[in-house]
Chains A and B, each alone.
Chain A
C-alpha cells in the first residue's frame, strides 16, 4: 500500500510540480506572493469541487464523453501554453520584463494550473476515496502520501533553482524549450486516449526503448511526467510531437517578424 500510494501520488503530483516550477521561474517578483496564493487556492478548489461532484459526474456523464473532455483539456492546456510562449514569455534580453509580468499573463498561468489540477486530481481523488474507506491502511497510505508529496516538492525546488539560474543568465531559449517540451508531453497523452476509445486507428509501434529506459522505472516515471516519454511510440506520436513543437516556433517567428515590421515602420527613414 505504501509503495503503491507513493507511485500514484508521484504520477499525479509530478506534472503539477513541473507547472508550478515553470510558473515560479517565470514569475519571480514580490507581487507573485498574491498570485501564488491564488495558484494554490485554484488547485484546492478544483479538488474540492471534484470531490463534491464526482457522484453526479459518474451518473450523468457518459464515460466516453469523460474521455473526450479529458482530451479537450489536454488540448486546451497546450493552446494556452503556446499562447504564453509566443506572446507573453520573455525570449530575449531586449524584451522588457513588463510583457511577462502583466495581469493577463498571470491569469493564463492560473488557467494552466486549473486544467492540470482537473485532469490529475480527478484520478487521485478516486484513489483517496477508496483508501479512506479502509481504516487499516491509513498509516501506510499517509506515509506514501507524505513521501510522494515530499519528493514532488523536492523536484519542484531543485528544478526551480536550476532553471532560475539559467533564466538569470538570460538562457531564455533553454527555459522556454523545456517548458514547451513539458507542454508537448502533456498533449501527447491524447494519442493513447484516442486510440483507447477507438477514435484513432492503432498503428504499429516504431521502436521499443523499454530495454534502455523502462516506462515503469523511477526515471521513466519522471520523464513521462516531464516530457511525455513514450517507450513504444507509434507514427501518431511522432507526427504530434513534431507538429506540436513546430507550430509555436512558427507562431513565435511570425510574431517577431510582425514586431520588427512595426518597429521599422515607426523609425524615421
Chain B
C-alpha cells in the first residue's frame, strides 16, 4: 500500500514537472494592461508574469483562457496558460473592466528577443 502511494506520488510529481517555459510579461499601470495585445506561440504552455504597478489590487480574468488571479497592489504574480490553438483570447481586469482590457494572439510564429519572449 505504501509502495503504491509512493509510486503514485512520483508519477504525479513527474506529470506536473515544470519544465523550461517561455516567459511573457504583462504590466498593469493606471488600470491599463501593457502591452494590450500579446503574442504567444500556439500549442505550448507559457509562463505569464503579471506585474501590477498600481497601488490597488487588480484581478486578471479571462473566460477564454479560464484564468482568474488576483494581483495585489505593487506586486507580481505568475500564471501558466496554454497549450492553446491559434486564435484570439480576450482578458480583462475585473476590478476595472472598462479600462483594463487586452487580447492574447496565439500564433504559429513568435520572434524571440533575449531571455523573455516579449
Residues of A within 8 A of B77 (CB): 63
Q: State the total of A-B contacts with C-beta under 8 angstroms.
A: 67
Contact of A202 with B by CB under 8 A: yes
Partner of B98, one of A4, A63, A195, A197: A4
Residues of B within 8 A of A215 (CB): 63
Q: What size tier do the contact residues of chain B reach?
A: 20 to 34
Contact of B34 with A by CB under 8 A: no
Residues of A within 8 A of B79 (CB): 196-197
Partner of B75, one of A1, A8, A58, A214: A58
Minimum CB–CB distance for A119 against chain B, Å? 12
Instruction: Let me know if A201 and B15 touch, CB within 8 A.
Output: yes
Contact of B83 with A by CB under 8 A: yes
Partner of B56, one of A122, A129, A195, A202: A129
Instruction: Let me know if A202 and B83 touch, CB within 8 A.
Output: yes
Instruction: Let me know if A127 and B95 touch, CB within 8 A.
Output: yes
Contact of B9 with A by CB under 8 A: no
B21's nearest neighbour on chain A, judged by CB, is A198
Chain B 67-79, CB within 8 Å of chain A: the 1/0 string? 1111010010111
Contact of B94 with A by CB under 8 A: yes
Residues of A within 8 A of B16 (CB): 198-201
A232's nearest neighbour on chain B, judged by CB, is B66
- How far is B66's CA from A7's CA once the two chains are assembled, in angstroms? 17
Residues of B within 8 A of A58 (CB): 72, 75
Within 8 A of B (CB), among A185-227: 192, 195-202, 210, 214-216
Minimum CB–CB distance for A213 against chain B, Å? 12
- 11 more A-B residue pairs beyond the given contacts A130-B57, A196-B67, A198-B18, with a C-beta to C-beta distance below 8 A: A123-B59, A123-B70, A129-B56, A133-B56, A192-B67, A195-B66, A196-B69, A198-B16, A202-B45, A202-B83, A214-B63
Question: What are the 3 A-B residue pairs with the smallest beta carbon separation, nearest first?
Answer: A130-B56, A126-B57, A198-B80
